């Protein structure tokens, strides 16, 4: 028998939300990193758009000497990811519900020097239409806040299966002047995932034998004005 409740839940979990709606434009005060992690002295890997959190949970299991924070705008996904985190009794990872473009900026500013060392944005929602550009997650203000929090040589990793989406992120990053793109041999694209852990969307795309565009950036020495 078809489980209608499961189908309904799947549909709700898959639904995009509009980050520009009034509700998602309200700021949430995010807890300080000292209230999130057992050992606040560890470097942080921030994953923006963490969805159900499987990528970050696997990273947290493998990298006990890092803290991991997943930011996600769909609350049900955060609840599910947090449930799994608690069941696994992992103290070096946390998932928070918010619109990254609104609520993450103050949190980034609150970090200690060189505490944030890695940022990943993987397969962000493809808002294709030009008039929907403002719904895309990597906006210039968020990028500037990330750049302010990262020390020179710390990394920003992005990937997508949609060329237009990754290209528009690259334009935002390159126009900021705060990052240097890492070139691998002849190619500017990274052939493999650098963390040996695939995100959920990445696995789905790879199973379909579609191309994944991956780019790695390092924070350069250019100072951000305060």
Ligand X SMILES: C[S@@+](CC[C@H](N)C(=O)[O-])C[C@H]1O[C@@H](n2cnc3c(N)ncnc32)[C@H](O)[C@@H]1O
- Active site residues per annotation: 125
**Cross-strand bridge partners of residue 71:** 48, 96
CB nearer ligand X, residue 46 or residue 137: 137
72 makes contact with ligand X (CB under 6 A) = yes
Where does 24-178 have alpha helices with state H? 33-36, 54-62, 75-88, 100-109, 140-149, 163-176
- Count, residues in the chain: 226
Residue from the set 49, 93, 95, 117 that interacts with ligand X by CB under 6 A: 49
Of 76 and 220, the one with the shorter C-beta distance to ligand X is: 76
Q: Characterise 13 by phi-psi region: left (phi > 0), alpha (psi -120 to 50), beta (else).
A: alpha
- Which residue's Cβ lies closest to ligand X? 49
Handedness of CA 150, 187, 127, 17 (dihedral sign): negative
Going by C-alpha positions, the residue among 58, 66, 122 that lies closest to residue 84 is: 58
Q: Does 19 bind ligand X (CB under 6 A)?
A: yes
Q: Does 123 bind ligand X (CB under 6 A)?
A: yes
Q: How many chain residues are in contact with ligand X, going by CB under 6 A? A: 20
| Residue of the chain from 45, 68, 74, 214 that contacts ligand X (CB under 6 A) | 74
Q: For residue 162, which of 141, 139, 136 has the smallest C-alpha distance?
A: 136
Of the ranges 4-12, 29-37, 69-77, 84-92, which one interacts with ligand X (CB under 6 A)?
A: 69-77
- Cα separations in angstroms, 10 against 1, 5, 13, 76, 131: 17, 9, 5, 11, 28
Q: Which stretch binds ligand X (CB under 6 A): 97-105, 108-116, 144-152, 207-215?
A: 97-105
Q: Which of 30, 42, 46, 51 contacts ligand X by CB under 6 A? A: 51
Q: Does 58 bind ligand X (CB under 6 A)?
A: no
Looking at 201, 213, 214, 217, which residue binds ligand X (CB under 6 A)? 201
The binder of ligand X chosen from 124, 146, 216, 217 (CB under 6 A): 124
* 212 belongs to the binding site for ligand X (CB under 6 A): no
Residues 127, 117: Cα–Cα separation, whole Å: 28
Q: How far is the CB of 220 from ligand X (least distance, A)?
A: 25
Nearer to ligand X, 125 or 188 (CB): 125
Q: At 216, phi and psi to the nearest 5? A: -115, 135
Q: Does 156 bind ligand X (CB under 6 A)?
A: no
Dihedral angle sign, alpha carbons of residues 64, 36, 22, 176: negative
Residues at the interface with ligand X (CB under 6 A)? 19, 49, 51, 71-74, 77, 99-101, 122-125, 137, 199-202
């Amino acid at each position: 028998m078809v489980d209608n409740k499961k189908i309904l839940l799947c549909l709700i979990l898959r639904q995009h939300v509009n980050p520009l709606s009034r509700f998602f434009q309200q700021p949430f005060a995010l807890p300080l990193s000292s209230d999130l992690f057992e050992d606040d002295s560890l470097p942080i890997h921030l994953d923006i758009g963490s969805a159900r959190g499987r990528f970050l949970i696997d990273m947290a299991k493998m990298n006990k000497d890092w803290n991991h924070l997943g930011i996600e705008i769909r609350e049900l996904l955060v609840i599910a990811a947090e449930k799994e985190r608690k069941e696994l009794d992992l103290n070096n990872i946390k998932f928070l519900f918010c619109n990254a473009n609104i609520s993450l900026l103050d949190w980034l500013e609150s970090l200690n020097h060189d505490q944030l060392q890695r940022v990943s944005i993987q397969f962000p929602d493809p808002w294709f239409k030009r008039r929907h550009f403002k719904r895309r997650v990597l906006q210039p203000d968020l990028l500037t806040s990330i750049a302010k929090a990262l020390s020179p040589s710390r990394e920003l990793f992005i990937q997508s299966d949609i060329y237009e989406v990754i290209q528009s992120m690259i334009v935002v990053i390159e126009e900021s002047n705060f990052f240097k793109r890492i070139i691998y041999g002849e190619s500017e694209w990274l052939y493999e995932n650098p963390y040996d852990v695939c995100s959920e969307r990445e696995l789905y795309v790879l199973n379909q034998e579609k191309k994944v565009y991956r780019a790695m950036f390092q924070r350069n020495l250019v100072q951000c004005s305060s």
